[in-house]
A and B are shown apart, each in its own frame.
Chain A
Amino acid sequence: MNLRATQKTAAMLCAVSALLLCANMACAATKNSCYACHDKAAFTQKVIHLPVAQQRCDQCHNPHLARYAGLLHKQGAELCAGCHAKLTKQIKTQQYAHQPALQGQCNSCHNPHATNQTHLLNDESHTLCLSCHDELRTPEKFVHAPFAQGKCATCHDAHSSDNPMLLRSQANQLCLGCHQSTSKLSTKHLNRDMNKIDCLECHQPHQADNKALLRGIQHQPFQQGKCQVCHNNNSGTSAICLTCHPDIMASFNQPLNHVIPDSNTSFCFSCHTPHASQQKGLLRGYPGEACRSCHEGKFEQRKESLHRHPNDNNCVDCHQLHGSSMPAMPKGDRQNNGDTACLGCHENHSNFSHPTGDKAHDPRNGKAMNCASCHDPCNGTIYKYNLRGTSDKGLCIQCHAGY
């Protein structure tokens, strides 16, 4: 028995040794043979990827044959995840992810071999970021120092973050990291607690045409420096806005409306900022952002749809924002059968498509048909033209059973 065991152990040791020898030989072959064809200069720049520096090309490539282009062992981020597992996990689990990172397009920013940029970036970080975010290219009068210096990573994490806009921490904390909360700063902000102020509500983080990087569209009293018009107003939270905009309340007195309860501030502030914004009507954030804070599910559902309406996040294009008598609060009134929002862009569609209005009643519920009877532009669908069923038959037979 002992002799047999010794023989078995010896055989196993031989096998392992043989394998290690083969691996070493392969490695040596890699070290020696790749540069015979591939110009070594392309792999010897300032910053070199560790496997390249160690001449371990075989860590990513198979020298003989592979399933993926470039003789790679795996495709895209799957290959990178082999070593960068922690980062991959972070991208997948954090709340916000940079689109290329989420889609596994690591090479869109990084060079897998060697570059002259830190973090193996394909170009200078500023140039690289602006190659996609070209809306920031237009120069404006005042520029935030980190942006001017091309240090995007000072504020943003290029892969993922738990903060919106991939910020490294909560917006105001990030700002106060450099702009210390001094008495001068506090005085400028009516002695408010700086930790509770949303700096980005009024200030542009990159560049602006206004001093102090103030956003372009400003509330008149704010622009004129007449803070006391609102801040010394004792008429109550919601009433502050209505003091100057009394007619607006009528637009809320509709069966369906956007009166959003808020006992601490004016309900107007749910969608509008009282100081400065980039959006017409002093709306908060980019188009649809104010809507998203309550209708998150709608945006998520839409994201999953195969066919989506152009500019579907720009809710303002189709919906009444204060109040309406119609479900879903579309633009226009009931006389237009809820189609006003659609006809604004598709004005000729009614000339050649299915009759609507009093010419056609929907047999499913007895109502006059409108565009939304067949299309679902708000949610998007899996069918072309945002149809609610297949365009060949599936949709039509719901009403035309004998079709």
Chain B
Amino acid sequence: MRGIDMKNITIRLIIFHLCVVTLLLAMAAVTPVYAKAPEWVSELIFPAPQQVSAPLAMAIDSERQRYYVVDSQKGKLLSYAGDGAALADFDAAGALQHPTDMSFARPGKLWVVERERNCLLYIDMSSQQVREFSPVTSSGKHIFIGHIACDSDHRLYVADRFSGRIYALDDNLQVVYAFAPHSGGHFIDFKIVGKQLWALEREQQAVYQFTLDGKQQQRITLDRPLRFPYSIAVDKTRQLYILDRASAKIFHFTTAGKYVAQFGQKGSRRGQLNYAAQLMFDWQQRLCVVNQGNDLIEVFSQQHQ
């Protein structure tokens, strides 16, 4: 009798342990991977205090490893080395009044958005020559120029704040392709990564992926509501980083729109965000934040836990 009881108890114990192990495995499978997400820490800040006022945008020259900052208050573009050391400033002989964005065209050539006159400036850095353009849509309507970017073929892309669309322009600044959110809404920011254009749509909180000839590849719905999505950056593994200006946080999503992690808090200290305006990845895949309210560019790098 005692032998049979022991056998029963042993079998029950084994079944119990198997159940516990299965339960733990199931829990591990459904537990989100938040804890494993790398931590972002502030690695570099520039410029020194009082050098720029309320920077609105930046551009990165990955080849020469330089940062360029748009100072819309003082009407200047400023360049910085990879370690944040100030190099030079440039006001295009007074042509810049309220610049709001910039992008590199061909080597030595620069596109700048001049907000005061709602125009594009094409600046030849070597000859210091500045030419002014006011692009229009195919139907002849003026474009209220938001962000701009150039692809590797030097084609210019312009976000139109009036229509919420992005236009690809040819060398004569004629619209060749239009990028529109087909499910409604308006694009607030976009980035070109390789041969893809990624655009952030604010109202429905979605990210659109296009080929550079305007074909929509996918629409990604972000699975976590944001207060005021403002800027997007996409890393080389196609992970999405969305700046929520109102909550002063940066949210990390997978390419499928699944929430991974978030960091940042409102404030004036190092690592804190105050009316941040733009996100961008540099040549080392560090996340650069135009921290407008703190008059800074803050460069965050990942630290694996």
Q: Which residues of A contact B (CB under 8 A)?
A: 236, 238-239, 252-257, 259, 261-263, 267, 295, 297-298, 325-328, 334, 361-362, 364-367, 373
Contacts and interface: CB of A to CB of B under 8 A. Distances in A.
Interface in B175-206: 186
A328 B161 contact: no
Nearest to A323: B115
Instruction: Pick the most buried of A263, A365, A366: most chain B CB atoms within 10 A of its CB.
Output: A365
B251 to A, nearest CB: 14
A365 B247 contact: no
Contacts of B50: 366-367
Contact of B115 (A254, A297, A334): A254
A287 B295 CA distance: 32
Interface stretch (B9-17, B22-30, B268-276): B268-276
Interface string B137-168: 00001001000000000000000111111000
Of all A-B residue pairs in the complex, the 3 with the closest CB atoms, nearest first, are A366-B49, A261-B164, A327-B275
Contacts of B115: 253-255, 257
Nearest to B159: A261
Given A253-B116, A297-B246, A261 B72 contact: no
A254 B56 CA distance: 12
A253 B228 CA distance: 22
A327 B54 contact: yes
A367 B49 contact: yes
A261 B161 contact: yes
Given A259-B162, A327-B275, A328-B275, A298 B246 contact: yes
Interface string B246-277: 11000000000000000000011100001100
A267 B162 contact: yes
B163 to A, nearest CB: 5
Nearest to B98: A255
Given A259-B144, A295-B228, A327-B54, A365 B295 contact: yes
Q: Is the interface of A mostly helix, strand, loop or mixed?
A: loop
Contacts of B301: none
Given A255-B72, A255-B100, A361 B292 contact: no
A239 B162 CA distance: 11
Given A253-B118, A373-B268, A327 B274 contact: yes
A360 to B, nearest CB: 13
Interface string B52-63: 011010000000
Given A263-B163, A325-B98, A366 B56 contact: no
Contact of A297 (B161, B228, B274): B228
Given A253-B115, A255-B56, A367-B294, A238 B162 contact: yes
Interface in B29-53: 48-50, 53
A366 B295 contact: yes
B296 interface: yes
Interface of B: 48-50, 53-54, 56, 72-73, 98, 100, 115-118, 141, 144, 160-165, 186, 227-228, 246-247, 267-269, 274-275, 292-296
B263 to A, nearest CB: 19
A236 B137 CA distance: 12
A365 to B, nearest CB: 4
Contacts of A254: 98, 115
Contacts of A252: 144
A325 B247 CA distance: 21
B49 A365 contact: yes
A238 B268 CA distance: 38
Contact of A367 (B56, B162, B275, B295): B295
Nearest to B244: A297
Nearest to A297: B227
A10 B27 CA distance: 50
Contact of A327 (B164, B247, B267, B292): B292
19 contacts: A253-B116, A255-B72, A263-B162, A263-B164, A263-B165, A295-B246, A297-B228, A325-B54, A325-B72, A325-B98, A326-B54, A327-B292, A327-B293, A334-B53, A334-B73, A365-B274, A365-B294, A365-B295, A366-B49
Nearest to B116: A253
Contacts of A366: 48-50, 295
A365 B162 contact: no
Contacts of B296: 365
A238 B274 CA distance: 32
A325 B98 CA distance: 9
Contacts of B161: 259, 261
A259 B142 CA distance: 13
A295 B186 CA distance: 16
B143 to A, nearest CB: 11
Contacts of A367: 49-50, 268, 294-295
Nearest to A367: B295
A187 to B, nearest CB: 32
A149 to B, nearest CB: 41
B49 A253 contact: no
A328 B276 CA distance: 11
